[in-house]
Structure 1
Amino acid sequence: MDPRRLALIRSGTDQGVRSTGSGYLIAPRLVLTARHVLVNQDTDTLWSVTSVRLGHPVEGDTTRTRAELLWEHPEGLDVALLLLEKASELPGTVRWGRPTGKAPMPYDGLGFPRAAAGETRDVEHLRGVLPPLSGSMNRYVLDQDPAPAPGADGRNAWGGASGTAIFCDGDHLVGVVVQEALAYGARRLHALPAQSFLGDAAFAAHLTEHTGTSPEVAPLGSVLPPEAGLVGERAPVEKELASLLAQLLPEPIGRAAHTRELARELGYDTDGYAPSLADLAALLVGHPRALASLGAALAPQAVDPAFRTRLTVLFIQARVLGCGSLLSLHEYEALLDLLRGLCKEQPTLPSRAAREALRYGVLPEALSRPHLAEDDLDEVIEGLEALTDGQGVPEGTPPVPGLLRFVEYVAAASDTAVGGGLRAWSSATAGRLGIHPGALGERRADAVEWASRPASPVSRVVMELQRDDSAADERYRCRTVLVRMDGTPSVIHEADSTSKTPQEAARCLRATVAAAKKEPGQGYHVPWVTVVVDRSGLHLAVDEWEPGAPNDFVPGQPIGAEYRVTLSCPELSDYAADREDAQQHRWKHGRTVALVTDRTCGNSTQLAHLLQNDHRDTAQVVLHGPADQRASWLLLCLALGVPVVLWDRDAVSYEDADKLRTLRPSGSPDELPERVRNFRSRSHAHPGPEWARPSLVWEPEGRPPEPEPLELRDPWKGTQAS
């Protein structure tokens, strides 16, 4: 890694910079970076101006030059080559590498993340370990040592690090940072492996033209953790583990044999390795699955109660010290194999099982989508390893991990062969962990009961919106709940809780609706979406938010044309104590009558008189009248418990009432949401000034699910690092 080859990339227009990223000079005129650094995310088109600053400020002078896109991957991978206007005079070429084996490898990189920005973009030295077993064919996982917190605005802390070149074994370029793994609180990044784009003929031709040599990829093997130094130089975690290991494995020869076998299993070269007690502690700290793998190797000896007690103490203390993952390497690989087959045959099952098995845990983001992709399995397993289910455990035994509960629920709903394999895996893992058989049996019985029950279909998708006042543009915090026919709500834990633009919120809603439609027993129907807002949000034209085209063939349309979209404002119940009781009364007695406002109810006092007397049972109000009074009339209707209120957002006076006539606004309220959806669809397909822009508040019959606070927190997977 040569700091002089570091590149700061700024893209935008002549009016200013709109995107900042990182890159690396791989030839005198070629800079390697992530494609999305160069692109307007809203239109997926290149910014018109791209400039590059080469060099590290600490290493001396930096140079600036314009650049243009030379190459992008033909299959859409997030990588690009920039051609500089002015060539660099730096000597030498880049060496390419590919991590092999199973053991994590140290990595380095230099980039310009937002978290390191002051008055200018400062350089951040990215460093940590790359676990080859995590990730997928086109994704490396980077477990980052320095982990910044998100900024006060909740934006992605690693924004700007996209395009950072990642090096292993000192000077071998192995990948390019493309994304922050948001599920890991800024502690994990994703990189595109170098071998995924080096094989492209056009890329290789450009590199050969500019360097005189074609790219070759060298395999890079893992090396053992550094040999233990003097006691005073060792980390406190290693000292604590060494003390526990001395009690567990007091005999030096046997302990060394266990250490060598463990190192071989983890993928290290053990030729000439003569490990000490301190080396074993260093190995347990250096590899996330070393501790569990050691426990699996020692499990046959755990029939001795005293040995089992010492082993359990080691596991508990290691978890306190933040050392080691739940699963051994063998357990992890075996579960990956079992779930890979399941993802192909029943891709919707894992998400359904996780939502039921772990109702109160924050699930990995991939489990909030309708289908679990094979490429997401590693992060799903690692995310679930951190969840614990501590109920009903006999005193003195470990709690049942959330991952095992998830596996039991998946097994219960799978066919005989897959389910049997998953249950066998769960039993073996629970035995190794020392979990009481009765505790696992309870979870298994719960899972069987869940799988045998017919699924309650989703009756409504509820999206709660809250305006993000700290954002310069229009952005909202979102939470989504699936409300089922039996009344039970299921929260979709939106992993990326940073505020969203209207288009991003619409896309999340579409993904949630797609997930609901895939559930068993759901059938095909036009979903009903309730958008929960505060008083100020009642004016929002949420039904007109467009998520974009779903594919290359079907044109995009607003969400209100695709779904029944209605508004709800539970906030008003905090100010009108009897509002909910009034709503239920009006639903029970006033479905057949509608109040359509006209000039006879020309102010708030007259409207209140009607709603409290002649129309005290009425469930539906159609608001016509002056635009400057409609907002206060709407709040009056809702405060007095009217559950259904319809109005035209564009209407300015009573003369605009005819625009809603084709909706049959005073017809049956139960059919009104679908009539409004159809109306919105027709007006979108045949636009013109003659159409109304209907808004519909519909407060559901019965108590709605209680909303939860919507707070910004550390982002999860899915946000590009730029």
Structure 2
Amino acid sequence: MTWFAPPRHPSSPDARGALVRVLSADRGRTAGAGVYLSGRRLLTCAHVINAALGLRSLSPHNPGKITLDVSFPVRSASELHPARLVAWIPPRSPQFGPVADGSLEWDGDLAVLELDAEPPPPVGPVRWLEMEHGQRVRAWYGGGQPFSYADARVGAYDGRICYLDGQLSGAAVDEGYSGGPLWSVTDEAVVGLVMGRITAPDGALSAQHTVRRSWGLGWQSVLWELARVGAAPDGRRNGARERPTATLAEAESVRDMMVGPLHGLLGDPRARADHATVLAAQLALRAPADGSAPTVEELAGLLSTTERALPTLTESLAAKVADDPRGRAELDRLLALGRLTEAARLLSVAEHRALTGKLEHLTQDDPGLLPRAATAALPYVDLPRSLQAARLAPSAVPAVVHELEGWSGDGSPVPEETPRLPALLRVVEYVAAGTSGELARQALREWSGRVAARLGIHASALQERRGDADRWSRRAAPTGVRLLVELDRYAKDPADHYRCSVWRLRPDGSPARVASESDRPRDGREIARLIREVAGGAEGAEDGVALVAVSVPPDALELALDEWDGAGTDEYIPAPLGEDFHLVLRCPRIRRRSRTGPADLRRRWNARHHSDILLADHRIGGRAGLIGLLKTTHRDTARVLVQGSSEHRGELLPVCLVMGVPVVLWDRASPGPAGGGRLDALAPHGPVDELPERVRHFRVRAYADQAVSARPALVWEDAGMPLPDELQLADPSEGTERTG
């Protein structure tokens, strides 16, 4: 027994909390068992997949992109979850050939399944340990019935497969057990997987016959097989992640290097015992109550392999070395070593708990805050998929924090060679700046200040990033009403008539449907009147000029909808949409044809303040020339001014949209190359965020002056604004605000 012992869980005393039932394709029977690894991934045997599909049990052929239903007996045998096959390790003979029917043992035979989402509580990961000869293990039938347990002892293990000798009383390992976990009762951990049974021959038994002998793969063998195909998972200890197997050697090296600074910091056994006892409690481990201390080597082993152990220890050590430069140097050395092992993570247990709680609460109130803040804080990196959406569910916060923890610090200079501010802390500062609650802002900033101090980050570095976040918040704060409009038409609809839906964006960025006129086609005047009524009746209508972002079909990009006049017959002054609103265009159907998804759009949008405008006229070399420029010297260009005839524009506009250019300006009334310069009055090269307002001013003058024939059209794709097909999460109660 080591000094740091795993906890006892009265509510989940064994591996059944991670047991998986794999159903046959027709859902009529249990094909076998499996075990939950972590995240969304499950592990079972390849021959269980074959059995579920009705194939030959030991067939080596990959069944491809198949989906099976699984359930978690600890939760409900009838609650089914689809799981996709994502890794296949076929059964094979020791000579790497096919396995003949009737074989008693074989290698490989593993499969990894992936769920659409992480499983619900109380399903959870288990602790994994290496298999050893003599361990007492327990297995369960895939259905998880409490009476189905089968006890055995590891009679032999050669580092490849293990032989399990079962008791003569109780259940025996049989069909439906394959793929399930082998639970070591003494170690309270999973040490391998059930693979098969060795059956006695037909006829009467003799003293030489094998009775109740089965076999399996030890955890060492499982990890080796998974690592060989790039599917090695994160190990788990007490629910905390460890280093992937492929880097265990690196973790051992880091462990050895940690011994030195630990001796300097905790060479006194009494101090080591005090800090280790606190650490064990934070990690939910058991510590001896006899006042003893772990060895420095054992403590280093825990820090290098157990998630959050290192930052949790340094959290208690930071106060001890606050006025001790030598101790602080040793602590910084320990933290630097931690950055070499993924298991350490960035945050302590308490820091992680506090941050996820705060962000989940803020996300509940403002689902768009964290994606907006992360996009602004990290403009030059590809954010995780969850942060690319316009809205984030509170349940996604832990996964987002976990991923951001692993990202390195920003590239801004720091004083005196102190550590750089980690990406996660930068995002937290932007979230704090972007929230409207003063108490929430103060709590987040106090949290980041404490973490920065523990990490040894210079106070001026944190203040500089905080200033960046404040400036972003002031610039990004929306003014006035923001409306999303979708225009569409059916083949039999009259010309110049469209079906229209309107959403209003709340202050938190979430959409509310306020009008749907898709039941019949409407002309431009009716649609303009509807938009005016919605914008005028919305909360905040008195604050600034409303932004109206209209999603149009590809053939409507040249539509003169800015001239649609919604004034009533009794109104004295005309009211074209382009005069009263920041009227901009979007074209989701073309955007979706991008191979890179939102990545290009987000990168270019974030670079809009410092990238140059690209003039796409007759000298650019047509479609091919524009593609080449946007892929090379203008990879971050956010603005393109298209000049030329309607045919020229029809060739280049789709290129801009597909390649993620968020701001595209052109004169839809331009006669051709000779029309260059007709839009100079609206200063296309000026401050980009003021461009919609300059376009509005230009339109007001153009509509009043017959000598001005230019008619500017502006595509404006704010990367943080949702598209119509992303608005299913709108509050149904808002649908009663019908105004037209």
Normalising by structure 2, we get a TM-score of 0.42
In our comparison, the structure showing a higher alpha carbon Rg is 2
Instruction: Say which structure, 1 or 2, has more relative contact order (CA 8 Å, 6+ apart).
Output: 1
